[in-house]
Structures are given as C-alpha cells and as structure tokens.
Amino acid sequence: LSETKSLNLFIIGATGLIGSTLIKQIEKEKDRIRKDQKLNIKIVGLANSKKMAFNEEGVTLKNLKEESSIENFVKNMRELNIPNSIFVDCTASEEVLKKYPEILKASISISTPNKKANSSNLHQYTKLALAASIVIGPTPPGTGVISLAFSEAASKSTSQFLYETNVGAGLPVLSTLNDLLHSGDKIEKIEAVLSGTLSYIFNSYDGSIPFSEVVKKAKVKGYTEPDPRDDLNGIDVARKLLILARETGQMLELKDIDTENLVPEKARSSKSVEEFFTKLKKEDTYFESIRDKAAKNNKKLCYIATLEKNKAYIRLESIGQNHPFYSLSGSDNIVSFTTNRYKNTPLVIKGPGAGAEVTAAGVFADILRISNTSFDGKIAHGDFIKKLKKKKLIISLIGMSNIGKTFWSKKLTKLGFKHISCDNIIKEKLGPKLKERGSQGIEDVAKWLGQPHEKQFKKNEAQYLKLEKETMNEIFQNISAENQNIVIDTTGSIVHIESNILEDLKKHSLVIYLETPEEMKKEMYENFIAHPKPLIWKDNYKDNDLAKSYLELLENRSTLYKEHADLTIPFHQIAENNLNETEFLNLIEENPSTKPMIHARKVTIRIAVNIIYLTQ
Ligand SMILES: NC(=O)c1ccc[n+]([C@@H]2O[C@H](COP(=O)([O-])OP(=O)(O)OC[C@H]3O[C@@H](n4cnc5c(N)ncnc54)[C@H](OP(=O)(O)O)[C@@H]3O)[C@@H](O)[C@H]2O)c1
C-alpha cells in the first residue's frame, strides 16, 4: 500500500492574480512535497467567472472550456465526491461565499484569501461557522455556554475553514492571535495598520508633494484599487478589524466598527475617478494642515485600526517616535498585540500585507495545514448519494419500540424505498404457533412470549431470537439482488441476537440509531410499571425485580444500539423540526459518518456566536 496521500484542489478565481500565482507555486513545489511530505497534490477543478474545467486526473488553465457558474462548479465538485478535497476561493465574490456552508457540509474544506465571508453579517457568518462545526466560544475552548453547546459539534468536525490571508495577507496574524488565545492569554489591545495602500500613502506623505499627488502616485504604482476611494473609505480595513474582533470573541457587525472615512465628503459622490482627484486636490490644504501639525510635534500620520475593551475604531492618528508604528515604511502592514503576557512590550508582526507571491503562499500554507491535520478518506458506507441514485441504498433503523422506526420506514416508501418490517416477518413465521393458541397479531406474540418469571418464557424467548436471526439472514441473502432502495425496520430486540448478525447488518446497510431521549426513557419506565408488556430480556432480568431490571435493560439497549450504529440521530432533531421524508434523508446524508471522513483538528477558527443567531 502506498503511504502517499492525495490532496485534491478545486480552485475558483484561477485566472486572477492570487489564483494564477497559487497554481504556479503548486506546480513548482508539488514534486518536492510529494517526495518530502508524501502528499500528492492534484488540481482537479478550476474556474474563473466565465469558464471551468474538471478532471480527477488533473486539470490546467488550458482546459478551461466549459461554461462556468458557481452552482455548476459546486454541483460537479460534490458529484465527483473525491476524498480529501479542498475548495480554494481566490475570488472576491459574494456569490461564491454563499456556497461555503453547502461546501463545508459536504465535507470539503475551504481555504480562502476572500475576507467577505468572515466579515459578512453575523447571521451569515454563524451559518458558516455551524456548517464547519467549528464554533468555539468567546473565550478559549471549554469556557462559556456557547463553547459547551458546540463542543460536541466541534468533535464531529469533518471540514476545515482556513483564511489566514484575510488579515495581513501572508503574515501570520490570525494564527498568532489564535495561538495566544488557545494558550490562555488575554488580549487587552490590538493596534494595526492593515492597508498596504494607506500605509504607503502616509509613509510617503512627507510634505514634499500634496496629498492628492501622493494618492495619484500610489495609483500609478498599482497600490490602490482602480478607484482609490475603495481604499480611502476604510471599509477594507474595517473588514479586517472586524475579523480580528470576531476571532477574539467579540460579536460585532461591520457597522459597529467606528471608521474614519478619509474620502473628503465633497469627493464621495464624484462620478468618476478623474472627478474624484479634482475634488481631492481641493482638500490638499486640509491634509497638509494635519500633517504639518503632527510634524511640528515630531509626529507622523498613521491610519490605525484599534480593538480594545469592546471598542473597535479606525482613525488617522498622529504618532510619536516611541510608537512601534513610527518606523513603518513602504506599504508594510503591522499588527501589535498587547496581552496579559505581552504587557510591557507588545508582540509585533510586521511585513508586506499584500502582494501576489506572499498571499498565494499564505493560501498554499493553509492548504498544507488542512492536509496535515486530516487523513486519508475513509468511506463509512460508500457514497450515499450515488447509492441512492443507483437504487442501491440500504438503511437500517434501530432503536427502542415506538421510537419511530416504522413511522420513518413508511415515510421513506413515499420516496420509493422498499420497507422491510422485521416484526411482520417474525409474526408471520410465528403464525402457526399463534394460530394453535387461537390468536394472531403482533400483540399475541407478546402474550405468547409472556413475562420473564413465567415458565415458558426462556424457551419462547430463545425461539423468538432464533426466528429473528433466521429472518435477518434471509433479508441479507435477498437484499443485494434488489433494485430498489431499502429501509430495514428492525425489532427493538435486534441488539440481543448474536453479534455477528449486527456485524452483517452493518456490512449490508447504513445502520441508524434513532436515539431515545432521557425524558422519554422516564416516560417508558412509568408506562412499563403501570402495564408491564412482554419483552425480550436476554440476560437483563435480574433478582425477580421487573422495575429495576427494566431500567437496566433500557440503559443496556441504549449502549448497544449506539455501539452498533453507523450514526445516531437524536430524537429531538427529528421531532422538534417536524421533518418530512426528504429532510429525514438529508439529515442522514449530511451526517459526517456517511461521508468520506476527513478528521479535522478540533479548533480551526474561533467564532463568536450570539445565542440569538443560534436559535434563529
Ligand atoms: N491581491 C492581493 O495582494 C490580495 C491580498 C490578500 C487578499 N486578497 C484577496 O484575494 C482574492 C483574489 O484577489 P486577486 O487580487 O487575485 O483578484 P483578481 O485578480 O481580480 O482575480 C479574481 C478572480 O476571481 C474570478 N471571479 C470573480 N468572480 C467570480 C465568480 N463569481 N465565479 C468564478 N470566478 C470568479 C475572476 O475571474 P474573471 O477573470 O473571469 O473575472 C478572477 O479569476 C480577493 O478576495 C482579495 O481580496 C488579495
């Protein structure tokens, strides 16, 4: 067996600056990575806004021929269903990021420099976090209600969402922040210059040329957006500060970031970039006056984003020589963390905060990080969707009587499933015996079985279990020849037949345990005490104590059902949501156990979640 793992990339935005640089970097490094890290990186899907291409064996930009849409890109990617897949979003598109939850739920990880998702409104952001099953509370894991509520979801995480390049491009800003938080440090203040453009503008604004000329020069050098107002309005910086705030657990919206807009009011509505520059020129004296005032105090201007004590603001500030940002030059970014541990001297990260090479390298590093923290795909029961479509899907429902096995089996027949009721088959097999007693019907099976202290019980129980085993074996023999999706509606006592039957059940079908909630167990116990109905007890009847033994039986069965199931569906998940049959199937399909498993590290991102959003 080869130890080399495969990593399959679907890159959207492939012809853009970052996308195309990333592809070049991958091509250049992939042989070394295959040799050193035993990782075979394959680009299996590519797209820009017009064309797309897919091939499991690999694609290049030359293959971009098929007409592209984000819907079809995601559909093709899901249908290919290749284990260890990563979706790499190198666009700035809002349309693309709306697909993230669906992609993450399909067990496909995401790496992206696109900051729009993490700075979207809290509702959308929360949906994304839930899809990635990586919601961690406002303080390091383990504290806070939200963290507890989601610890279970986090442990089931199958897909990762990495976005180191959202803030400071290739600089390790977010990973440093997360390392500080996870190791128990407390953030007191974050100060940062987060725009390469504004850094360049204010680092070169020394009074030798007017402010409007400095901005023009930045545009000519390619530092600004096509319309420099998109840099000067501070929104891009606000998005980055918002991401930093959310990482630290502050549940802010973009509107909560108090942002100084550097576009003079009169120039905001300019119809063209030319008109904007004409109006900006008229404001040169204003900018010169604040620069001059700062210079007279040996200070310089710096556009600083600050996060402290639940406040997030961005201001053009005058800073003196003892400020760590005073020495900033060129278009560099700088982030300073003042924390419990880094109190007197803050931890500072400085360097280029934009540029194709460093940003693409940051995305590449995220991709490798995902692959390092995941391992080869293990398909629990083959591909759910493919089997469903080919009419080869077999589901078994296990759980206590009356938990809804027959109810859901019948519902699934509406979707063309064949319903195999084990109770009915056993009842038919027992028919002659019941007839001898002048009765028929499943209730009579109960009467025939009797109570555990009665004389005939052991014999009849053994006979019942023998018939049940026979029934299951017959089902196993016949189902593979069926050309129909099947739901096996098992008996509550299936966990008491020999264990090889349960192993076979797992081999032949996807075993789903409809879990009994604690409050229902209590109710079942009370009903049983009022009207003890005959049951298969196996070895659970003890000390001639029906009530105590029943409690133990409930507990033992719950453990056994869970142990033998491929996946467990909590009762409330079905009951409270009033699901229809399709939603019930979706619930199974979306469960990580039915997918190629990518075992993700537990904590990938820290997301602050407002409980209001969770309950929506
Ligand atoms: N450049 C940097 O230094 C830097 C630094 C940090 C983060 N980022 C982020 O990285 C991302 C990419 O930046 P970039 O500079 O590479 O941008 P870019 O050169 O404008 O490239 C964008 C790419 O996305 C494609 N695209 C746009 N909308 C699409 C859609 N709906 N479906 C499919 N493809 C679509 C474009 O295809 P067409 O060519 O067909 O339109 C193009 O290939 C942005 O989110 C940016 O904020 C960039």
* pLDDT one-digit tens code per residue, 532-566: 888 899 888 988 898 999 999 999 999 999 888 88
Q: 20: CA distance to ligand 1 center in Å? A: 10
| Most ligand 1 atoms within 8 A of CB, residue of 66, 73, 91 to mutate | 91
Q: Using one digit for the tens of pLDDT, what is the confidence trace for 356-379?
A: 999 999 999 999 988 876 533 333
Give the residue whose CA is nearest to atom 10 of ligand 1: 113
Pocket-forming residues, ligand 1, beta carbon under 6 Å: 12-19, 47-50, 70, 90-93, 95-96, 113-114, 165, 169, 354-356, 359
pLDDT of the residue at 144: 27
Give the residue whose CA is nearest to atom 4 of ligand 1: 354
Whether 599 shows a pLDDT value over 90: the answer reads: no
Whether 608 shows a pLDDT value over 50: the answer reads: no
Q: 119: CA distance to ligand 1 center in Å? A: 17
Nearest-CA neighbor of 351 among 341, 342, 361, 343?
Answer: 361
Phi-psi region of 81 (alpha: psi -120 to 50; beta: other; left: phi over 0): left
How is 99-155 classified by DSSP, letter by letter?
THHHHHHTT-EEE---TTTTTS-HHHHHHHHHHTT----SSSTT-SHHHHHHHHHHH
What number does the ligand 1 atom closest to the CA of 116 have? 45
Q: CATH number for 173-354: choose from 2.120.10.80, 3.30.360.10, 3.10.180.10, 3.30.230.10.
A: 3.30.360.10
Q: 363: CA distance to ligand 1 center in Å? A: 13
Active-site residue, 469 included = no
Shared fold status for 5-168+601-614 and 173-354: no
Q: 274: CA distance to ligand 1 center in Å? A: 25
Catalytic residue selected from 105, 115, 240, 279:
240
Q: Do 566 and 593 meet the contact criterion of CB atoms below 8 Å apart?
A: yes
| Most ligand 1 atoms within 8 A of CB, residue of 10, 15, 18, 77 to mutate | 18
Whether 208 shows a pLDDT value over 90: the answer reads: yes
Give the residue whose CA is nearest to atom 29 of ligand 1: 49
Domain boundaries, the chain: 5-168+601-614, 173-354, 384-595
CA atoms 564, 565, 566, 567: torsion sign: negative
Q: 188: CA distance to ligand 1 center in Å? A: 34
Q: 11: CA distance to ligand 1 center in Å? A: 11
Q: What mean pLDDT is predicted for residues 25-30? A: 97
Whether 577 shows a pLDDT value over 90: the answer reads: no
Question: Which CATH class name applies to 5-168+601-614?
Answer: alpha beta
| % of the chain beyond a pLDDT of 90 | 58
Buried b (16+ CB within 10 A) or exposed e, 232-265: bbbbbbbbbbbbbbbbbbbbbeeebbebeebbbe
Whether 14 shows a pLDDT value over 90: the answer reads: yes
Q: What mean pLDDT is predicted for residues 243-267? A: 94
Q: What mean pLDDT is predicted for residues 81-85? A: 84
Q: What mean pLDDT is predicted for residues 200-229? A: 95
- Whole-number Å distance between alpha carbons of 411 and 563: 26
The CATH superfamily label for domain 384-595 reads P-loop containing nucleotide triphosphate hydrolases (3.40.50.300)
Query: Sorting pLDDT into bands at 50, 70 and 90, what band is 594?
Result: low
What number does the ligand 1 atom closest to the CA of 51 have? 40
pLDDT of the residue at 593: 54
- Whole-number Å distance between alpha carbons of 405 and 146: 32
What number does the ligand 1 atom closest to the CA of 18 have? 16
Q: Do 420 and 489 meet the contact criterion of CB atoms below 8 Å apart?
A: yes
